[in-house]
Chains A and B, each alone.
Chain A
Amino acid sequence: MLNFATRRFGLSLLILFVAVTVMFLMIRAVPGDPVQIMLGPRATPELQAQLTAALGLDQPIWKQLLIFYGNLLQGDLGTDVFSGRAVTDIVFQQLPYTLELIFASILWSATLGIGLGAYAAAHPNTLIDRIAAAISVSFVAAPAFVVALLALLVFAVHLQWFPAIGAGDGFLDRLDHLVLPAFAIGLSWVGYIARLVRASMLEVMGESHVRTARAFGIAERRVVMVYALRIAILPVVTVIGVGMGFLLSSAVFAEIVFARPGLGKLVIDSITTRNYPIVMGSVLISTALFVVSTALADLINALLDPRARTAH
């Protein structure tokens, strides 16, 4: 197990290393002088030279890369062009809002999805099973930002049940502001998770330990809830871990639509003001988040299912 964990995290580190290098080279490969783009056409030559030196752009590329990695290992992702604050400070200030949103989305959609899937598997081919199947196919197809816009239109602008803008202050207010964006992000996951749980439930229900539990005369409800569901839930863990990138992407849109603070809003605002260090810092940190969550999902999976440890 420890062996698997080391290998898995080694791979993650390697992937992150390559990803960061690719990103770095991509920035440098873009035609045009980044300093000129950042400062605009009216900057004086002295100012340009100063920023060039400050960013280390006058060094050869391999040295730039080394300096970049040196700084990165010390937790330094550069400074904001305008305020001069550290990029990490700014990104980590916004990150909690995004994580809060993602967590809320996963929480409600996984709860509902697992419930629906388990119920459908326990009562296959009933009316509710059919309805759940139809709903899940339809919801899987709905892109989060379209759902967010329609939810904004119906529930915030038209019915005025929920606030349309911001993240709110205080616990209840924040919760109130989370409802619509979390609904929009989670909606497509409900159906997806329900289908996943239904399929793996049906498989698990046919296995011998469930048959044994039944043979011992354990109540059907307990067989389903305790003996089958516990194992059938495993794929959901993996899917959520791998889906982290997808969730982050949806969160970007939800933050824009509901004018919430967060990583997505930060990136979009920084693109409009050409604040490259912030854009790159945010992309790097979200990529790291994604890579770590995928590795964690694999790890949890391996912990619970020994067969996964040997698979590539």
Chain B
Amino acid sequence: MEKSRSELGQIIVGVARDPLGLMGLIIVGVIVFCAIFAYWIVPYDPIAMDIKSRLQGPSAAHLLGTDQLGRDTFSRVIAGGQVALKVALPAVFGAMAIGLTLGMIAGYGPKWLDNLLMLFFDTIRSFPTVMFALAVVALIGPSLQTVVFVVMATSIPTYGRVARTQTLTLRNSEFILAERSMGASMTRILGVHMLPNIIGVLAVLAAMDIPTVIALEAGLSFLGLGVKPPTPSWGALLKDGYSLIRQTPWLVVGGGLPIILATLGFTFLGESLRDVVDPKLRKQR
């Protein structure tokens, strides 16, 4: 346990030494901080309407103005970060856990199971993401859970394939053969010996996947097919801003900039993590 902690420390130091990585660390840190303490940061209730002060421009009272219902845009931007992470984190971790399990089974199990799982992965990947999302939303209706489900379903194959490749290369290495010849069970081999060697690569993938997920959530909410109003999602802000683009340009700016910042932050962090954890990955992407 102590060893892994110092390894984690080394990774963080390595990321912080890289200028882009440091920038990513700071941006992500600010977003996470705002999301956790959103309740104390927001000057107004993000869903409280105040018709009297609707469609105002930026001012000292309302830093980013107000929307058509008089809700404070700045408060909604801060609270929107919470929604974005609430979708992104469970979806990414869920997809990673399932993809990891299936991928290791595919790599270690019998050939027919491998073929079956690969066909499953290829099939999911054959749907264009947004089209798949739209089909699912059309069928089971829009909600936060739907978005999480869609994101998980579409990103399982990515993790599964990487986990499978890693398992395949490790499978015939000496320490696994030794373990197997001593009669270790499959769960022990996979869980105790393979997992620590695969998880790092997958964690990097997960960090690089978060921007895609945040963008997808915002995109679906922008189309009115993601989280339901009045939940303050960045995408919902853009939706309001789009219909009022001639009157209130600050709504589009207020909804768009955090998305760009968040994707930028997580991308910087992910790329820097990748270079520190496993420089070989750089060529595969």
Mutual binders A and B = yes
Q: Give residues in A with beta carbon < 8 Å to B.
A: 11, 14-16, 18-19, 22-23, 26-27, 30, 137-138, 140-143, 145-146, 149-150, 152-153, 157-158, 199, 244-246, 248-249, 252-253, 256-257, 264, 267-268, 270-271, 274, 276, 279-280, 282-283, 286-287, 290-291, 294
A309 to B247, CA, bound (A): 57
Cβ of B138 within 8 Å of any chain A Cβ, yes or no, is yes
Contact call B131/A141, Cβ cutoff below 8 A:
no
A157 touches B127 (CB 8 A): no
Who on chain B is nearest to A248 by CB? Answer: B128
B131–A257 touching, CB < 8 Å: no
B119 within 8 A of A: yes
Given A138-B264, A141-B267, A257-B242, check contact A15 B131 (CB 8 Å).
no
Asked if A15 meets B242 with Cβ closer than 8 Å, knowing A30-B139, A246-B129, the reply is no
In the assembled complex, the CB of B55 is this many whole angstroms from the nearest CB of chain A, namely 16
- Complex CA gap A15/B136 in Å reads 19
Q: A15–B122 contact, CB under 8 A?
A: yes
B241: nearest chain-A partner, CB-CB:
A149
25 contacts between A and B (CB under 8 A): A15-B123, A16-B126, A19-B127, A22-B123, A27-B139, A137-B267, A137-B268, A141-B260, A142-B264, A146-B238, A146-B260, A149-B256, A150-B252, A153-B245, A157-B245, A157-B249, A253-B219, A256-B222, A256-B223, A264-B130, A271-B138, A279-B134, A282-B131, A286-B128, A287-B128
Measured in the bound complex, the distance between the Cα atoms of B86 and A62 in whole Å is 40
What 0/1 pattern do residues 150 to 180 of B give for CB contact below 8 A with A? 0000000000000000000000000000000
A26 contact set on B, CB distance < 8 A: 135-136, 139
CB of B252 within 8 A of CB of A18, answer no
Question: Does B20 sit within 8 A of A, measured CB to CB?
Answer: yes
| B218 contacts A by Cβ under 8 Å | yes
Q: A145-B222, A267-B134, A279-B134 are in contact. Are A137 and B245 (CB under 8 A)?
A: no
Q: Is B140 an interface residue (CB 8 A)?
A: yes
State the Cβ distance, A72 to closest chain B Cβ, in Å. Answer: 16
Interface residues of B (CB under 8 A from A): 20, 119, 122-123, 125-132, 134-140, 211, 215, 218-219, 222-223, 225, 238, 241-242, 245-246, 249, 252-253, 256, 259-260, 263-264, 267-268, 271, 283
When distances are taken between beta carbons in the complex, the residues of chain A under 8 Å from B135 are: 23, 26, 279-280, 283
- Is there an interface contact between B140 and A30, defined as CB atoms closer than 8 Å? yes
Nearest-neighbour CB distance to chain B for A13, whole angstroms, equals 11
B131 near A283 with CB under 8 A, answer yes
Measured in the bound complex, the distance between the Cα atoms of B137 and A270 in whole Å is 12
Are B263's CB and A143's CB within 8 A?
yes
Contacting B20 at CB < 8 Å: which of A137, A146, A153?
A137
Residues of A within 8 A of B219 (CB): 143, 145, 253
Among B127, B132, B263, max chain A CB count under 10 A is at: B127
| With contact pairs A137-B271, A153-B249, A157-B249 given, residues A253 and B130 touching in the complex (Cβ less than 8 Å) | yes
Q: Do A19 and B211 touch (CB < 8 A)?
A: no
CB distance from A135 to the nearest CB of B (A): 12
Instruction: Across the interface, name the chain B residue whose C-beta is closest to A14.
Output: B119
- Interchain CA distance A143-B215 in the complex, whole Å: 6
Write the nearest CB–CB distance from B186 to chain A, whole angstroms.
Answer: 24
Q: Is the Cβ of B264 less than 8 Å from the Cβ of A149?
A: no
Taken together as a complex, chains A and B put the C-alpha atoms of A30 and B122 apart, in Å, by 23
Q: Nearest A residue to B235 by beta-carbon distance? A: A145
Q: Name the 7 nearest CB pairs between A and B, nearest first.
A: A249-B130, A245-B128, A143-B215, A141-B263, A248-B128, A141-B267, A141-B264
Contact partners of B128 in chain A: CB under 8 A: 244-246, 248-249, 286-287, 290
Kindly list chain B residues whose C-beta atoms are within 8 Å of the C-beta of A246.
128-129
Q: How far is the CB of B85 from chain A (nearest CB, A)?
A: 16
The smallest beta-carbon distance between B128 and chain A, in angstroms, is 4
**Smallest CB separation, A238 vs chain B (Å):** 13
Contacts of B241 in A (CB 8 A): 149
- A22 to B119 CA separation, bound complex (whole angstroms): 12
A210 to B215 alpha-carbon distance, docked (Å): 42
Question: In whole Å, how far is B216's beta carbon from the nearest beta carbon of chain A?
Answer: 9
| A280 nearest in chain B by CB position | B135
